[in-house]
Protein backbone atom coordinates (compact mmCIF):
# COMPACT_ATOMS: atom_id res chain seq x y z
CA UNK A 1 0.00 0.00 0.00
CA UNK A 2 1.19 3.53 -0.77
CA UNK A 3 2.24 5.61 2.24
CA UNK A 4 0.56 8.74 0.83
CA UNK A 5 -2.33 8.87 -1.61
CA UNK A 6 -4.87 11.42 -2.83
CA UNK A 7 -8.22 11.47 -1.05
CA UNK A 8 -9.96 10.95 -4.39
CA UNK A 9 -8.23 7.54 -4.64
CA UNK A 10 -9.80 6.30 -1.38
CA UNK A 11 -12.88 4.05 -1.51
CA UNK A 12 -15.45 3.56 1.27
CA UNK A 13 -14.31 -0.07 1.49
CA UNK A 14 -10.93 1.18 2.79
CA UNK A 15 -12.40 2.00 6.21
CA UNK A 16 -10.76 -1.01 7.88
CA UNK A 17 -7.33 0.17 6.72
CA UNK A 18 -7.63 3.96 6.81
CA UNK A 19 -10.33 4.50 9.42
CA UNK A 20 -14.05 5.28 9.25
CA UNK A 21 -13.66 9.06 9.16
CA UNK A 22 -11.52 9.08 6.01
CA UNK A 23 -13.79 6.52 4.34
CA UNK A 24 -16.85 8.68 5.07
CA UNK A 25 -15.24 11.71 3.45
CA UNK A 26 -14.30 9.57 0.45
CA UNK A 27 -17.91 8.41 0.06
CA UNK A 28 -19.17 11.99 0.19
CA UNK A 29 -16.76 12.93 -2.62
CA UNK A 30 -17.99 10.02 -4.73
CA UNK A 31 -21.61 11.00 -4.18
CA UNK A 32 -20.79 14.57 -5.38
CA UNK A 33 -21.04 16.34 -2.03
CA UNK A 34 -18.54 19.22 -1.59
CA UNK A 35 -15.38 17.90 0.07
CA UNK A 36 -12.02 19.68 -0.45
CA UNK A 37 -9.21 18.02 -2.30
CA UNK A 38 -6.74 16.38 0.05
CA UNK A 39 -4.24 13.65 0.81
CA UNK A 40 -4.15 10.69 3.19
CA UNK A 41 -0.90 9.86 5.01
CA UNK A 42 -0.36 6.39 6.48
CA UNK A 43 1.40 5.85 9.80
CA UNK A 44 5.09 4.82 9.45
CA UNK A 45 4.35 1.82 11.68
CA UNK A 46 7.33 -0.27 10.68
CA UNK A 47 9.80 2.53 11.37
CA UNK A 48 8.24 3.42 14.75
CA UNK A 49 7.97 -0.23 15.75
CA UNK A 50 11.63 -0.79 14.87
CA UNK A 51 12.70 2.17 17.02
CA UNK A 52 10.76 0.89 20.05
CA UNK A 53 11.91 -2.70 19.67
CA UNK A 54 15.53 -1.82 18.99
CA UNK A 55 15.75 0.13 22.24
CA UNK A 56 13.49 -2.31 24.14
CA UNK A 57 11.17 0.60 24.95
CA UNK A 58 7.85 -1.19 24.38
CA UNK A 59 6.55 -1.23 27.99
CA UNK A 60 5.21 1.98 29.57
CA UNK A 61 7.96 2.45 32.16
CA UNK A 62 10.79 2.14 29.63
CA UNK A 63 8.90 4.35 27.15
CA UNK A 64 8.53 7.20 29.64
CA UNK A 65 12.08 6.85 30.95
CA UNK A 66 13.58 7.12 27.45
CA UNK A 67 10.96 9.45 25.94
CA UNK A 68 13.43 12.12 24.87
CA UNK A 69 15.52 9.61 22.90
CA UNK A 70 12.38 8.04 21.38
CA UNK A 71 11.19 11.50 20.32
CA UNK A 72 14.57 12.32 18.79
CA UNK A 73 14.60 9.12 16.72
CA UNK A 74 10.96 9.32 15.61
CA UNK A 75 11.35 12.93 14.45
CA UNK A 76 14.25 11.77 12.25
CA UNK A 77 12.05 9.35 10.26
CA UNK A 78 12.34 10.34 6.61
CA UNK A 79 9.28 11.73 4.87
CA UNK A 80 7.74 9.56 2.12
CA UNK A 81 8.74 10.42 -1.43
CA UNK A 82 5.07 10.42 -2.43
CA UNK A 83 4.38 13.28 -0.01
CA UNK A 84 6.70 15.64 -1.87
CA UNK A 85 5.32 14.49 -5.22
CA UNK A 86 1.67 15.05 -4.30
CA UNK A 87 2.39 18.46 -2.78
CA UNK A 88 4.70 19.66 -5.55
CA UNK A 89 2.19 22.22 -6.81
CA UNK A 90 0.99 23.34 -3.37
CA UNK A 91 2.37 26.23 -1.35
CA UNK A 92 3.10 23.98 1.59
CA UNK A 93 6.34 23.43 3.52
CA UNK A 94 6.51 19.66 3.19
CA UNK A 95 9.24 19.12 5.79
CA UNK A 96 7.30 21.20 8.34
CA UNK A 97 4.11 19.26 7.60
CA UNK A 98 5.89 15.91 8.04
CA UNK A 99 7.39 17.01 11.36
CA UNK A 100 3.95 18.05 12.59
CA UNK A 101 2.48 14.69 11.61
CA UNK A 102 5.30 12.87 13.42
CA UNK A 103 4.63 14.94 16.54
CA UNK A 104 0.92 14.06 16.41
CA UNK A 105 1.74 10.35 16.17
CA UNK A 106 4.23 10.76 19.01
CA UNK A 107 1.50 12.29 21.19
CA UNK A 108 -0.85 9.40 20.34
CA UNK A 109 1.91 6.90 21.10
CA UNK A 110 2.62 8.45 24.48
CA UNK A 111 -1.07 8.57 25.38
CA UNK A 112 -1.47 4.87 24.52
CA UNK A 113 1.62 4.05 26.57
CA UNK A 114 0.19 5.91 29.59
CA UNK A 115 -3.04 3.93 29.26
CA UNK A 116 -1.05 0.70 29.38
CA UNK A 117 -1.75 -0.37 25.79
CA UNK A 118 0.43 -3.42 25.15
CA UNK A 119 1.21 -2.65 21.49
CA UNK A 120 0.78 1.16 21.25
CA UNK A 121 1.88 1.36 17.60
CA UNK A 122 -1.37 -0.35 16.59
CA UNK A 123 -3.53 2.52 17.88
CA UNK A 124 -1.85 5.21 15.74
CA UNK A 125 -4.31 6.80 13.32
CA UNK A 126 -3.91 7.53 9.62
CA UNK A 127 -3.92 11.30 9.05
CA UNK A 128 -5.47 13.36 6.30
CA UNK A 129 -4.97 16.93 5.14
CA UNK A 130 -7.51 18.94 3.18
CA UNK A 131 -6.64 21.89 0.96
CA UNK A 132 -8.83 24.97 1.29
CA UNK A 133 -8.66 28.65 0.57
CA UNK A 134 -8.81 31.29 3.29
CA UNK A 135 -11.52 30.10 5.69
CA UNK A 136 -14.09 32.82 6.39
CA UNK A 137 -16.65 30.83 8.39
CA UNK A 138 -16.59 27.41 10.07
CA UNK A 139 -18.88 25.28 12.20
CA UNK A 140 -20.86 22.07 12.33
CA UNK A 141 -24.33 20.90 11.32
CA UNK A 142 -26.54 17.85 11.86
CA UNK A 143 -30.11 16.68 11.56
CA UNK A 144 -31.92 16.41 14.89
CA UNK A 145 -34.39 13.55 14.38
CA UNK A 146 -36.06 14.20 17.73
CA UNK A 147 -37.15 17.66 16.59
CA UNK A 148 -37.17 16.78 12.89
CA UNK A 149 -35.09 19.83 12.06
CA UNK A 150 -31.53 20.77 11.12
CA UNK A 151 -29.18 22.25 13.71
CA UNK A 152 -26.41 24.57 12.50
CA UNK A 153 -23.68 25.81 14.84
CA UNK A 154 -21.32 28.58 13.67
CA UNK A 155 -17.91 28.40 15.35
CA UNK A 156 -16.20 31.34 13.63
CA UNK A 157 -17.41 34.13 11.34
CA UNK A 158 -20.93 34.85 10.05
CA UNK A 159 -23.12 33.21 7.39
CA UNK A 160 -25.32 35.04 4.92
CA UNK A 161 -28.92 33.91 4.47
CA UNK A 162 -28.33 32.24 1.05
CA UNK A 163 -25.36 30.20 2.33
CA UNK A 164 -27.35 29.25 5.43
CA UNK A 165 -30.12 27.94 3.19
CA UNK A 166 -27.60 25.95 1.09
CA UNK A 167 -26.17 24.41 4.24
CA UNK A 168 -29.63 23.52 5.52
CA UNK A 169 -30.55 21.87 2.21
CA UNK A 170 -27.29 19.91 2.17
CA UNK A 171 -27.87 18.49 5.67
CA UNK A 172 -31.37 17.38 4.68
CA UNK A 173 -29.95 15.59 1.63
CA UNK A 174 -27.21 13.99 3.71
CA UNK A 175 -29.64 12.42 6.17
CA UNK A 176 -30.89 10.25 3.32
CA UNK A 177 -27.37 9.05 2.42
CA UNK A 178 -26.64 7.15 5.66
CA UNK A 179 -28.43 4.69 7.89
CA UNK A 180 -26.73 6.28 10.91
CA UNK A 181 -26.78 9.91 12.06
CA UNK A 182 -23.65 12.05 11.64
CA UNK A 183 -22.38 15.50 12.54
CA UNK A 184 -20.80 17.40 9.65
CA UNK A 185 -18.00 19.89 10.21
CA UNK A 186 -17.92 22.47 7.45
CA UNK A 187 -15.96 25.51 6.30
CA UNK A 188 -16.69 28.34 3.93
CA UNK A 189 -13.82 29.70 1.84
CA UNK A 190 -15.12 30.55 -1.61
CA UNK A 191 -17.63 27.70 -1.40
CA UNK A 192 -19.26 25.61 1.30
CA UNK A 193 -17.29 22.40 1.96
CA UNK A 194 -17.44 19.47 4.39
CA UNK A 195 -14.17 18.81 6.21
CA UNK A 196 -15.12 16.12 8.73
CA UNK A 197 -17.84 13.55 9.38
CA UNK A 198 -18.27 12.01 12.83
CA UNK A 199 -21.00 9.86 14.41
CA UNK A 200 -23.78 11.79 16.13
CA UNK A 201 -23.42 11.66 19.93
CA UNK A 202 -24.11 13.88 22.93
CA UNK A 203 -20.38 14.11 23.63
CA UNK A 204 -19.68 15.40 20.12
CA UNK A 205 -22.30 18.12 20.50
CA UNK A 206 -21.17 19.24 23.97
CA UNK A 207 -17.43 19.18 23.27
CA UNK A 208 -17.00 19.74 19.51
CA UNK A 209 -13.65 19.41 17.81
CA UNK A 210 -13.93 21.61 14.72
CA UNK A 211 -11.15 22.07 12.23
CA UNK A 212 -9.13 25.23 11.91
CA UNK A 213 -6.98 26.36 9.04
CA UNK A 214 -3.21 26.49 9.21
CA UNK A 215 -1.87 27.81 5.90
CA UNK A 216 -3.64 25.78 3.21
CA UNK A 217 -4.24 22.82 5.52
CA UNK A 218 -7.21 21.97 7.67
CA UNK A 219 -6.16 20.55 11.04
CA UNK A 220 -8.26 18.92 13.73
CA UNK A 221 -7.72 20.89 16.92
CA UNK A 222 -10.13 21.91 19.69
CA UNK A 223 -11.62 25.36 19.12
CA UNK A 224 -10.83 27.35 22.25
CA UNK A 225 -11.93 30.87 23.15
CA UNK A 226 -9.56 33.80 22.81
CA UNK A 227 -8.83 35.39 26.21
CA UNK A 228 -7.26 38.67 27.25
CA UNK A 229 -5.32 36.76 29.92
CA UNK A 230 -2.29 34.98 28.50
CA UNK A 231 -2.10 31.21 28.98
CA UNK A 232 1.45 29.86 29.23
CA UNK A 233 2.55 26.22 28.94
CA UNK A 234 4.56 24.39 31.60
CA UNK A 235 7.29 22.44 29.80
CA UNK A 236 7.25 19.28 31.94
CA UNK A 237 7.67 17.18 28.79
CA UNK A 238 8.55 17.91 25.17
CA UNK A 239 4.90 18.11 24.17
CA UNK A 240 3.78 21.74 23.76
CA UNK A 241 0.32 22.99 22.88
CA UNK A 242 0.91 25.31 19.89
CA UNK A 243 -2.05 27.45 20.99
CA UNK A 244 -0.24 28.60 24.16
CA UNK A 245 0.93 32.21 24.51
CA UNK A 246 4.32 31.30 25.94
CA UNK A 247 6.31 28.57 27.67
CA UNK A 248 8.05 28.20 31.04
CA UNK A 249 10.66 25.58 31.88
CA UNK A 250 11.61 24.99 35.53
CA UNK A 251 15.27 23.93 35.57
CA UNK A 252 14.86 21.49 38.47
CA UNK A 253 12.45 19.35 36.44
CA UNK A 254 15.17 18.36 33.96
CA UNK A 255 17.57 15.43 34.37
CA UNK A 256 20.70 17.47 33.73
CA UNK A 257 22.24 20.30 31.76
CA UNK A 258 21.99 18.42 28.44
CA UNK A 259 18.26 17.85 28.78
CA UNK A 260 17.85 21.43 30.01
CA UNK A 261 19.59 22.84 26.96
CA UNK A 262 17.74 20.49 24.61
CA UNK A 263 14.29 21.40 25.97
CA UNK A 264 15.05 25.11 26.02
CA UNK A 265 16.28 25.19 22.42
CA UNK A 266 13.49 22.89 21.21
CA UNK A 267 10.79 25.14 22.69
CA UNK A 268 12.38 28.43 21.60
CA UNK A 269 13.08 27.18 18.08
CA UNK A 270 9.63 25.63 17.60
CA UNK A 271 7.77 28.77 18.73
CA UNK A 272 9.95 31.77 17.75
CA UNK A 273 7.17 34.30 18.26
CA UNK A 274 6.45 33.22 21.84
CA UNK A 275 8.41 33.91 25.02
CA UNK A 276 10.21 30.97 26.60
CA UNK A 277 11.13 31.53 30.26
CA UNK A 278 13.82 29.41 31.89
CA UNK A 279 13.14 29.64 35.60
CA UNK A 280 16.41 28.78 37.36
CA UNK A 281 16.34 25.74 39.64
CA UNK A 282 14.48 25.80 42.96
CA UNK A 283 16.47 23.06 44.67
CA UNK A 284 15.40 21.66 48.08
CA UNK A 285 17.04 22.75 51.34
CA UNK A 286 16.13 22.85 55.02
CA UNK A 287 13.79 25.78 54.35
CA UNK A 288 11.09 23.29 53.35
CA UNK A 289 9.95 24.72 50.02
CA UNK A 290 13.13 24.89 47.99
CA UNK A 291 16.18 27.02 48.54
CA UNK A 292 15.57 29.32 45.58
CA UNK A 293 18.16 32.04 45.01
CA UNK A 294 19.74 31.40 48.42
CA UNK A 295 20.71 27.88 47.32
CA UNK A 296 21.85 29.02 43.86
CA UNK A 297 24.19 31.59 45.42
CA UNK A 298 25.71 28.80 47.51
CA UNK A 299 25.98 26.43 44.53
CA UNK A 300 27.23 28.83 41.89
CA UNK A 301 28.44 26.00 39.65
CA UNK A 302 24.79 24.92 39.23
CA UNK A 303 23.72 28.47 38.41
CA UNK A 304 26.56 28.83 35.89
CA UNK A 305 25.47 25.65 34.06
CA UNK A 306 21.91 26.92 33.77
CA UNK A 307 23.10 30.36 32.62
CA UNK A 308 25.30 28.66 30.03
CA UNK A 309 22.17 27.05 28.51
CA UNK A 310 20.51 30.48 28.25
CA UNK A 311 23.55 32.13 26.68
CA UNK A 312 23.98 29.25 24.24
CA UNK A 313 20.35 29.56 23.12
CA UNK A 314 20.44 33.36 22.78
CA UNK A 315 23.98 34.04 21.53
CA UNK A 316 24.89 30.96 19.51
CA UNK A 317 21.47 29.87 18.29
CA UNK A 318 20.07 33.41 18.08
CA UNK A 319 16.90 32.41 19.93
CA UNK A 320 16.12 35.86 21.30
CA UNK A 321 12.72 34.82 22.70
CA UNK A 322 14.45 33.18 25.70
CA UNK A 323 14.11 35.00 29.05
CA UNK A 324 15.06 34.03 32.60
CA UNK A 325 13.16 33.69 35.85
CA UNK A 326 14.50 33.74 39.41
CA UNK A 327 13.23 31.15 41.90
CA UNK A 328 12.19 32.05 45.46
CA UNK A 329 13.82 35.27 46.72
CA UNK A 330 13.79 35.92 50.47
CA UNK A 331 14.96 39.51 50.71
CA UNK A 332 15.74 42.58 48.65
CA UNK A 333 19.43 42.13 49.46
CA UNK A 334 19.26 38.58 48.04
CA UNK A 335 17.70 39.88 44.83
CA UNK A 336 20.47 42.45 44.47
CA UNK A 337 23.15 39.81 45.04
CA UNK A 338 21.72 37.31 42.52
CA UNK A 339 21.47 40.12 39.92
CA UNK A 340 25.11 41.05 40.49
CA UNK A 341 26.12 37.39 40.16
CA UNK A 342 24.16 36.98 36.93
CA UNK A 343 25.62 40.18 35.48
CA UNK A 344 29.13 38.89 36.18
CA UNK A 345 28.48 35.78 34.08
CA UNK A 346 26.70 37.52 31.22
CA UNK A 347 22.96 37.80 32.05
CA UNK A 348 21.51 41.30 32.33
CA UNK A 349 18.18 42.95 31.53
CA UNK A 350 18.50 44.36 28.05
CA UNK A 351 16.68 44.12 24.74
CA UNK A 352 14.44 41.07 24.66
CA UNK A 353 16.13 39.51 27.73
CA UNK A 354 13.56 39.82 30.51
CA UNK A 355 14.12 39.06 34.18
CA UNK A 356 11.15 37.52 35.99
CA UNK A 357 11.05 37.09 39.77
CA UNK A 358 9.09 34.35 41.49
CA UNK A 359 6.86 35.44 44.36
CA UNK A 360 6.46 32.45 46.66
CA UNK A 361 6.56 34.10 50.09
CA UNK A 362 4.10 36.54 51.70
CA UNK A 363 7.10 38.81 52.45
CA UNK A 364 7.65 39.28 48.72
CA UNK A 365 4.28 41.00 48.31
CA UNK A 366 4.43 42.89 51.62
CA UNK A 367 7.71 44.53 50.55
CA UNK A 368 7.14 44.45 46.81
CA UNK A 369 7.77 48.17 46.29
CA UNK A 370 11.36 47.65 47.43
CA UNK A 371 11.85 44.62 45.13
CA UNK A 372 10.51 46.59 42.17
CA UNK A 373 13.05 49.38 42.77
CA UNK A 374 15.91 46.88 42.29
CA UNK A 375 14.67 46.22 38.73
CA UNK A 376 12.61 43.31 37.36
CA UNK A 377 10.47 42.87 34.25
CA UNK A 378 7.69 40.68 35.64
CA UNK A 379 6.65 38.39 38.48
CA UNK A 380 5.74 34.71 38.63
CA UNK A 381 3.28 34.25 41.51
CA UNK A 382 3.54 30.74 42.99
CA UNK A 383 0.10 30.26 44.54
CA UNK A 384 0.90 26.85 46.05
CA UNK A 385 3.89 28.25 47.94
CA UNK A 386 1.97 31.33 49.12
CA UNK A 387 -0.91 29.14 50.30
CA UNK A 388 1.46 26.86 52.23
CA UNK A 389 3.22 29.72 54.02
CA UNK A 390 -0.07 31.44 54.84
CA UNK A 391 -1.61 28.21 56.10
CA UNK A 392 1.45 26.91 57.92
CA UNK A 393 1.70 23.53 56.17
CA UNK A 394 4.11 21.74 53.85
CA UNK A 395 2.59 21.65 50.35
CA UNK A 396 3.87 18.14 49.53
CA UNK A 397 2.89 16.46 52.82
CA UNK A 398 -0.01 13.98 52.55
CA UNK A 399 -1.67 15.29 55.71
CA UNK A 400 -1.92 18.77 54.18
CA UNK A 401 -4.45 17.74 51.52
CA UNK A 402 -7.39 19.12 53.51
CA UNK A 403 -5.64 22.48 54.04
CA UNK A 404 -4.97 22.80 50.32
CA UNK A 405 -8.71 22.92 49.62
CA UNK A 406 -9.16 26.04 51.77
CA UNK A 407 -8.65 29.05 49.51
CA UNK A 408 -10.25 31.76 51.67
CA UNK A 409 -7.11 33.17 53.29
CA UNK A 410 -5.17 32.97 50.02
CA UNK A 411 -7.94 34.82 48.18
CA UNK A 412 -8.09 37.61 50.77
CA UNK A 413 -4.30 37.95 50.74
CA UNK A 414 -4.18 38.20 46.95
CA UNK A 415 -6.98 40.77 46.83
CA UNK A 416 -5.19 43.05 49.29
CA UNK A 417 -1.55 42.54 48.31
CA UNK A 418 -1.42 41.81 44.56
CA UNK A 419 -2.66 45.35 43.86
CA UNK A 420 0.88 46.54 44.64
CA UNK A 421 2.11 44.76 41.53
CA UNK A 422 -0.79 45.74 39.27
CA UNK A 423 -0.33 49.43 40.17
CA UNK A 424 3.22 49.25 38.81
CA UNK A 425 1.87 47.66 35.60
CA UNK A 426 4.32 44.78 35.73
CA UNK A 427 3.20 41.55 34.02
CA UNK A 428 1.96 38.98 36.53
CA UNK A 429 2.17 35.31 35.57
CA UNK A 430 0.31 33.11 38.08
CA UNK A 431 0.95 29.40 38.60
CA UNK A 432 0.27 26.67 41.16
CA UNK A 433 -2.37 24.16 42.22
CA UNK A 434 -4.89 26.79 43.49
CA UNK A 435 -5.53 27.77 39.86
CA UNK A 436 -7.90 24.80 39.87
CA UNK A 437 -10.25 26.80 42.12
CA UNK A 438 -12.76 28.98 40.25
CA UNK A 439 -12.89 31.48 43.13
CA UNK A 440 -9.14 32.09 42.84
CA UNK A 441 -9.30 32.49 39.06
CA UNK A 442 -12.15 34.98 39.51
CA UNK A 443 -10.02 37.09 41.88
CA UNK A 444 -7.12 37.02 39.42
CA UNK A 445 -9.34 38.17 36.55
CA UNK A 446 -10.73 40.98 38.72
CA UNK A 447 -7.19 42.11 39.52
CA UNK A 448 -6.31 42.02 35.82
CA UNK A 449 -3.35 39.63 35.99
CA UNK A 450 -1.35 39.38 32.78
CA UNK A 451 -1.21 35.57 32.45
CA UNK A 452 -1.62 32.16 34.03
CA UNK A 453 0.51 29.02 33.94
CA UNK A 454 -1.81 26.06 34.70
CA UNK A 455 -0.95 22.38 34.76
CA UNK A 456 -0.97 21.24 31.08
CA UNK A 457 -3.91 18.90 31.77
CA UNK A 458 -6.02 21.89 32.92
CA UNK A 459 -4.99 24.30 30.15
CA UNK A 460 -8.18 24.00 28.05
CA UNK A 461 -10.48 24.13 31.07
CA UNK A 462 -8.93 27.33 32.42
CA UNK A 463 -9.26 29.00 29.01
CA UNK A 464 -13.02 28.44 29.15
CA UNK A 465 -13.13 29.75 32.74
CA UNK A 466 -11.14 32.85 31.80
CA UNK A 467 -13.37 33.52 28.79
CA UNK A 468 -16.50 33.35 30.89
CA UNK A 469 -15.11 35.39 33.78
CA UNK A 470 -13.60 38.09 31.57
CA UNK A 471 -17.03 38.72 30.05
CA UNK A 472 -18.80 38.88 33.42
CA UNK A 473 -16.29 40.79 35.58
What are the tens digits of pLDDT across the range 341-383? 999 999 999 889 999 999 999 999 999 999 999 999 999 999 9
Top-confidence residue, 300 or 392: 300
Phi, psi dihedrals of residue 153, rounded to the nearest 5°: -115, 125
> For residues 373 and 383, what is the distance between their CA atoms, to the nearest angstrom?
23
- Predicted confidence at residue 119, as pLDDT, reads 67
- Predicted confidence at residue 204, as pLDDT, reads 42
pTM attached to this predicted model: 0.55
> For residues 70 and 111, what is the distance between their CA atoms, to the nearest angstrom?
14
- Predicted confidence at residue 156, as pLDDT, reads 84
Top-confidence residue, 215 or 293: 293
Q: What is the mean pLDDT of residues 111-138?
A: 81
Mean pLDDT of the chain: 84
Confidence of residue 279 (pLDDT cuts 50, 70, 90): very high
> For residues 370 and 376, what is the distance between their CA atoms, to the nearest angstrom?
11
Confidence of residue 289 (pLDDT cuts 50, 70, 90): low
> Hey, which CATH number is domain 230-472, 3.40.50.300, 1.10.3720.10, 3.20.20.60, 3.90.1310.10?
3.20.20.60
Terminal Cα-to-Cα distance of the chain (whole angstroms): 57
Question: pLDDT over 70 for what percent of the chain?
Answer: 89
Asked if pLDDT for residue 306 goes beyond 90, the answer is: yes
Query: What are the extents of the domains in the chain?
Result: 4-130, 137-220, 230-472
> 377-390 pLDDT, tens per residue?
999 999 999 998 98
Top-confidence residue, 131 or 380: 380
Asked if pLDDT for residue 200 goes beyond 80, the answer is: no
> 7-37 pLDDT, tens per residue?
888 776 676 677 878 888 888 888 888 988 8
Look at residue 201 and give its three-state secondary structure.
Answer: coil
Q: What is the mean pLDDT of residues 55-83?
A: 82
Asked if pLDDT for residue 214 goes beyond 50, the answer is: no
- The continuous run of DSSP H or E covering 206 comes out as helix 202-206
Amino acid sequence: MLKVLPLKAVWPEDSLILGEEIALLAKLRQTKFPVPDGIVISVPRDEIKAILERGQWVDSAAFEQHFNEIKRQILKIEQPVELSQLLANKKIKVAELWQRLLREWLDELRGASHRGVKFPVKVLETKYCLFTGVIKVSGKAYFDRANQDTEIVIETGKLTAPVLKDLNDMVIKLKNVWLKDYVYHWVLDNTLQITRVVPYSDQELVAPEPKIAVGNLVWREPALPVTATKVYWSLDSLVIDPRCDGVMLAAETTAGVEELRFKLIEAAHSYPGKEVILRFGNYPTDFGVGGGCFELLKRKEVLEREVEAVLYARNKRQLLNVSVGLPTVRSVAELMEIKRTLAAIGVTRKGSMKLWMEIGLPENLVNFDQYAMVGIDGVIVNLASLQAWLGGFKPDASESAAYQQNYQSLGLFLESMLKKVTKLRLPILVTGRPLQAVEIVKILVKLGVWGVLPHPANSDEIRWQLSKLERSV
